């Protein structure tokens, strides 16, 4: 029986083999472009190239197409390699499709398989599933396509173990496709995203690798209820995993390391769950959340990122049992966010921080922060407390809307900000050590009336930082080796007394937009850039401070009305001033100005007290708007100067000036004490204080009337010795100037006439183009033009009666002139010596191109017009 059975088995095996051989012989070979419209098994007998349409079109179900390793080539212009529409149970395997718009295109295709195919160099898509369900796409590969694998409106498909590398856009792309399983695929080095989902829900992505892509590893938009499990998204140029407007997704056990942006990023995404993910060594945030609510993070690891976890305007999120070690700046930042729960998280070498650009209390006092540690020490978060003491085992302290609390003898180091106060007032901070924190040792936000005394802050970004915080007192604090010592931003009425801010990287003390603060008896030495820097800050009192060995002792930018006195400066540059006007001394009784040293060349080292008032002579001009009138000398003794200043009057000189606005120019010098003041006295008129401009003392006599004057110069040195021996006599005689107006009422020039001693001076000048002078005339009468019976009312210039004495001056020009001047000796004119001489002026002028000349009169009126006649009155002796 056993033998008979064995033989029967052999017989059946032979029959099966024969049947198989018969089936193979029935397969259909494809040698050229074709349509498969009958069910069966087909195979490529050779590679096929075509420039148009689809090479193989499948229009029936139950088809197996075996490429046998051959390729289909569209030469970069054909529509498709393989196209199937409205069929089921199709298998396509072992074929390479290249150079098409679509490599393999399944439209309304269900329950089919794509296996071990290659799709390269296709213009749009390598493998495209449209409205296709329950298909398996496995062990395919493709590169240099625009998109490699696309599912559009395609559900319940299984995408496994495919390789989608180095494509021109995304490797794997899902649009409006749900309930797909995407497992074990590789999508690396693509020019856009590795894996992209849009409007796609309830998909499961497991064990995929999406690394080294130009944008994001796994990019999810408007997609909900997806699961991402054990995927790797490393070293992408943007973020590792990105969720935008995507809710209720679950991310578990994924790795997103070494990305150029964030490890995991959420934008407008809510109710997502993140468990056991690793996000490390990213160049920006480990996890960044913007406008994302009600997300849960449990047991994730975020180490060695440029920044840790950042909540930006994201509310009601929960973090439990996460680890954030060795991140730059912060392990976790809560920025303008409410109702965050932080429980049982571990931070090392950077802690947490709360920050807001406004004073909205909900950003500070709505959080639940419990049982977290930094560097093995508790993080204490107090909200809405009145009174109380912070335990001394604290590793980091945050106060939100608290008052009357005591913080004393704490060591808050190697975290983000050692001690942070938000909207907290009336607290005492004493003998706190806060060193080597990424941001501040102590930071105050919108916090007033706090006392900070005797604290030590070293090697922080800012030792003490205050933002919008008023009426605080900082006394006796030590701030060294920080990037900046004390920083005040828009903080007013604070008192900084007796603090030491030395050897900081940039600023010892910095004020921006901060007014009415008092900086007294502070020491700011050896800071790399600025001792005290004041920008857009006004009405501050800066007194009795020491600023030595900084590059700039005091820097002021757009800051005014600050009182700066009784300070000691000894720096490379003691000051720099930009658009600022300030007060640099108080009264002599209250100590005067400042001490200005600079390795033997400072003003206080090179200038002395000559007048016995205890201050340098002369005063110290920092710039045109900033003067220390009472600089304090290094040598307190009074120096003697018995010589008087040397004075030379350069202008005016002994002459007649035909203008009434003359510059005063004086050279004054004193080689011992220097010049204190130079005053010009115009005898019986006024005194003018001259100002030094370069090497000269300058002023102006002002508008003096015609006459003779005497000017005397009084120069006084700082030893109060004066020289008033220099004087000059001068005369001012300004001419009358009249318009030269034609008979057609055109103003074409000017006429000036004046009498100096017995000489009549006149000048005619053409000012309008195209006009010139042909003749000039001067006429003089003894009679007033105001007398109707006078010669002025006749149309003749000369009469035969003997009672009128006249002269008539006439000159013709050939060719015409543009200016003419001359003099008349009035003593040579036959006039009545008992009266007054009245002088009138006119001219004959011509316009270029005109047929004839016309008359023009000074003051616009000819003699025959009988009114408003220009004349000069010359009294005769």
Structure tokens at 161: 């173990």
Strand partners, 217: none
| Contact in structure between 348 and 326 (CB atoms under 8 Å) | yes
List helix spans (H) across 461-548: none
* pLDDT tops 70 at residue 869: no
Per-residue burial over 195-214, b = 16 or more CB atoms within 10 Å of its CB, e = otherwise: bbbbebbbbebbbbbbbbbb
CB 96 within 8 A of CB 67: yes
Give which of 823, 822, 817 is closest to 775, Cα–Cα: 817
What average pLDDT does the structure give for the chain? Answer: 90
**Residue pointed to by tokens 């220009």:** 870
* Banded model confidence at residue 342, pLDDT cuts 50, 70, 90: very high
**Does residue 18 have a pLDDT over 50?**
no
Residue 785: pLDDT above 70?
Answer: no
Q: Is residue 288 packed enough to be buried (19+ CB in 10 Å), middle (13-18) or exposed (0-12)?
A: buried
* Nearest CA among 788, 648, 617 for reference residue 719: 617
The yes-or-no verdict on residue 794 having pLDDT over 80 is no
pLDDT, tens only, 702-717:
888 888 999 999 998 8
Could you give the CA distance from residue 613 to residue 412 in angstroms, rounded to a whole number? 51
pLDDT at 872: 53
Report whether pLDDT(419) > 70. yes
Please determine, for residue 288, whether its predicted confidence score (pLDDT) is greater than 70. Answer: yes
pLDDT > 80? residue 830: no
Q: Is there a contact between 835 and 806 (Cβ–Cβ < 8 Å)?
A: no
pLDDT given for residue 26 in this prediction: 57
Tokens of 650: 């350069």
Least confident of 76-85, 384-393, 555-564, 657-666: 657-666
Q: Has residue 565 got a pLDDT over 70?
A: yes
Mean pLDDT of 549-574: 97
Q: What is the dihedral of CA 100, 104, 108, 110, to 10 degrees?
A: 180
Nearest-angstrom CA–CA distance, 336 and 363? 5
For residue 617, is pLDDT > 50?
yes
> Residue 840 in contact with residue 808, Cβ under 8 Å?
no
Distances (CA, A) of 784 to 650, 840, 865: 44, 11, 15
d(CA 15, CA 459): 88
- pLDDT tens sequence across 363-376: 999 999 999 999 99
CA distance 433 to 416: 14
In the structure, what pLDDT confidence band is assigned to residue 93 with cuts at 50, 70 and 90?
Answer: very high
DSSP string, 686-738: EEEE-EEETTEEEEE--SPPSEEEEEEEEEEETTS-EEEEEEEEEEE-PPEEE
Q: Hunting for tokens 């800050």 — which residue is that?
A: 537
Contacting residues for 300 by C-beta, under 8 A, at least 6 apart: 274, 275, 276, 277, 278, 279, 287, 322, 323
Q: What is the residue whose two structure tokens read 């002599």?
A: 588
Does residue 782 carry a pLDDT above 80? no
121 Cβ contact list (under 8 Å, min separation 6): 76, 98, 99, 144, 145
27-to-44, 94, 114, 143, 663 alpha-carbon distances in Å: 11, 16, 19, 31, 116
At residue 273, the pLDDT reads 98
HSE, CB side, 13 Å, CA atoms: give it for residue 225: 7
pLDDT at 643 over 90: no
Residue 646: pLDDT over 80: yes
Kindly report the backbone phi and psi dihedral angles of residue 483, in degrees, each rounded to the nearest multiple of 5, phi listed first. Answer: -60, -45
E strand segments, 238-327:
241-244, 250-252, 264-267, 273-275, 285-290, 296-298, 307-312, 318-320, 323-325
Q: CA 745, CA 484: separation in Å to the nearest integer? A: 76
Out of 33-37, 247-251, 464-468, 721-725, pick the least confident: 721-725
d(CA 485, CA 150): 57
3-state secondary structure 785-849: CCCCCCHHHCCCCCCCCCCCCCEEEEEEEEEEECEEEEEEEHHHCCCCCCCEEEEEEEEEEEECC
What number of residues does the chain have?
877
The DSSP H or E segment spanning 16 is helix 2-26
Which range is least confidently modeled, 386-395, 572-581, 666-675? 666-675
pLDDT at residue 659, as a whole number: 83
Q: Which residues contact 521 (CB under 8 A, 6 or more apart)?
A: 497, 498, 543, 544, 545
199 token code pair: 């409007």
Q: Give dist(CA 24, CA 66) in Å, integer.
A: 12
- Interatomic CA distance for residues 27 and 39, integer angstroms: 11
| Residue 799 binned pLDDT confidence (cut-offs 50, 70, 90) | very low
731, 744, 762, 747: which is closest to 840 by C-alpha?
A: 762
Confidence of residue 834 (pLDDT cuts 50, 70, 90): low
Beta bridge partners of 693: 696
pLDDT of 555 strictly over 90: yes
Q: Cα separation of 666 and 685, whole Å? A: 19
pLDDT confidence bin for 183, thresholds 50/70/90: very high
Order of strands across the sheet that contains 656-657: 656-657, 722-732, 707-717, 675-682, 686-689
User: Alpha-carbon distance 726 to 740, whole Å?
Assistant: 44
303 token code pair: 């180490």
Q: What is the reported pTM? A: 0.75
pLDDT of residue 835: 59
φ, ψ of residue 828 in degrees (nearest 5): -95, 0
The CA radius of gyration of the chain, in Å to the nearest whole number, is 49
Burial 732-765 (b: 16+ CB within 10 A, else e): bbbbeebbbbbeeebebbbbbbbbeeeebbbbbb
Contacts of 96 (CB under 8 A, 6+ apart): 67, 69, 70, 71, 72, 117, 118, 119, 120
> For 429, phi and psi rounded to 5 degrees?
-125, 110
Give 874 or 465, the one with higher predicted confidence. Answer: 465
What pLDDT is stored for residue 493 in this prediction? 98
Give the span between the Cα atoms of 129 and 157, in whole angstroms.
10
């Amino acid at each position: 029986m056993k033998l008979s059975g064995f033989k029967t088995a052999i017989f059946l095996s032979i029959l099966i083999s024969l049947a198989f051989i018969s089936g193979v012989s029935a397969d259909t070979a494809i040698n050229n472009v074709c349509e498969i419209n009958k069910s069966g098994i087909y195979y490529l007998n050779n590679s096929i190239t075509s420039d148009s349409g689809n090479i193989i079109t499948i229009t029936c179900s139950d088809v197996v197409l075996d490429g046998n390793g051959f390729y289909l080539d569209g030469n970069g212009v054909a529509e498709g390699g393989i196209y199937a529409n409205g069929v089921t149970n199709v298998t396509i395997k072992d074929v390479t499709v290249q150079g098409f718009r679509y490599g393999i295109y399944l439209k309304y295709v269900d329950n089919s398989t794509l296996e071990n195919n290659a799709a390269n160099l296709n213009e749009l898509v390598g493998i495209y599933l449209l409205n296709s369900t329950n298909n398996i796409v496995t062990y395919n590969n493709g590169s240099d396509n625009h998109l490699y694998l696309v599912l559009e409106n395609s559900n319940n498909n299984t995408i496994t173990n495919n390789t989608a590398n180095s494509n021109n856009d995304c490797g794997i792309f899902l649009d409006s496709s749900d309930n797909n399983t995407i497992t074990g695929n590789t999508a690396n080095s693509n020019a856009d995203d590795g894996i992209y989902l849009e409007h796609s829900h309830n998909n499961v992505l497991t064990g995929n690798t999406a690394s080294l892509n130009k944008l994001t590893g796994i990019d999810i938009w408007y997609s909900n209820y997806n699961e991402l499990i054990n995927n790797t998204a490393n070293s992408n140029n943007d973020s590792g995993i990105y969720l935008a407007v995507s809710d209720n997704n679950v991310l578990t056990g994924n790795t997103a390391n070494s990305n150029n942006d964030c490890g995991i990023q959420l934008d407008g995404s809510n109710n997502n769950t993140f468990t056991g993910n690793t996000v490390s060594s990213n160049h920006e945030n480990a996890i960044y959340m913007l406008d994302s609510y009600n997300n849960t993070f449990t047991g994730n690891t975020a180490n060695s990122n440029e920044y840790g976890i950042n909540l930006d305007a994201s509310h009601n999120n929960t973090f439990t049992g996460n680890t954030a070690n060795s991140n730059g700046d912060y392990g976790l930042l809560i920025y303008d966010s409410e109702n965050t729960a932080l429980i049982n998280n571990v931070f090392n070498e950077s802690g947490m921080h709360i920050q807001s650009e406004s004073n909205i209390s909900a950003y500070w006092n709505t959080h639940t922060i419990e049982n977290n540690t930094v560097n093995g020490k508790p993080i204490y978060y107090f909200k809405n407390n009145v009174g109380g003491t912070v335990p001394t085992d604290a590793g980091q302290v945050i106060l939100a809307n608290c008052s009357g609390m005591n913080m004393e003898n704490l060591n808050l180091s190697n975290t983000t900000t050692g001690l942070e106060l938000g909207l907290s007032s009336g607290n005492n901070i004493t003998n706190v050590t806060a060193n080597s924190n990424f941001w501040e040792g102590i930071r105050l936000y919108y916090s007033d009336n706090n006392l900070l005394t005797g604290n030590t802050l070293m090697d922080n970004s800012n030792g003490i930082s205050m933002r919008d915080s008023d009426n605080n007192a900082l006394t006796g604090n030590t701030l060294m080796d920080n990037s900046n010592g004390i920083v005040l931003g828009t903080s007013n009425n604070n008192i900084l007394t007796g603090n030491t801010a030395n050897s900081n990287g940039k600023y010892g003390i910095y004020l921006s937009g901060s007014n009415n603060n008092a900086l007294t008896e502070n020491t700011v030495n050896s800071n790399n850039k600025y001792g005290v820097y004041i920008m857009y800050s006004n009405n501050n009192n800066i007194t009795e401070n020491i600023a030595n060995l900084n590059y700039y002792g005091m820097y002021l930018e757009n800051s005014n009305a600050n009182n700066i006195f009784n300070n000691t400066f000894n720096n490379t540059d003691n000051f720099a001033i930009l658009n600022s006007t300030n007060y640099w001394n108080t009264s002599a009784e209250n100590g005067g100005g400042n001490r200005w040293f600079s390795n033997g060349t400072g003003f206080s080292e090179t200038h002395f007290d000559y007048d016995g008032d205890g201050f340098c002579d002369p005063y110290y001009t920092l710039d045109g708007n900033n003067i220390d009138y009472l600089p304090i000398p290094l040598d307190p003794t009074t120096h003697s100067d018995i010589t008087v200043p040397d004075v030379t009057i350069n202008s005016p000189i002994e002459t007649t000036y035909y203008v009434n606005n003359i510059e005063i120019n004086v050279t004054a010098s004193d080689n011992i004490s220097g010049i204190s003041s130079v005053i010009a006295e115009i005898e019986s008129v006024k005194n003018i204080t001259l100002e030094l401009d370069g090497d000269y003392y300058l002023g102006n006599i002002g508008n003096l009337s015609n006459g003779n004057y005497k000017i005397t110069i009084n120069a006084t040195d700082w030893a109060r010795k004066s020289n008033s021996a220099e004087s000059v006599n001068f005369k001012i005689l300004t001419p009358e100037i009249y318009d030269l107006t034609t008979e057609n009422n055109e103003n074409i020039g000017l006429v000036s006439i004046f009498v100096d001693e017995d000489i009549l001076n006149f000048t005619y000048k053409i000012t309008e183009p195209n006009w010139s002078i042909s003749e000039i005339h001067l006429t003089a009468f003894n009679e007033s033009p105001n007398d109707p019976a006078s010669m002025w009312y006749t149309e003749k210039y000369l009469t035969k009666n003997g009672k009128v004495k006249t002269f008539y001056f006439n000159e013709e020009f050939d060719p015409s002139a543009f200016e003419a001047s001359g003099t008349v000796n009035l003593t040579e004119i036959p006039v009545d010596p008992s009266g007054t001489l009245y002088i009138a002026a006119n001219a004959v002028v011509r316009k270029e191109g005109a047929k004839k000349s016309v008359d023009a009169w000074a003051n616009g009126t000819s003699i025959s017009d009988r009114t408003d006649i220009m004349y000069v009155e010359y009294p005769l002796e």
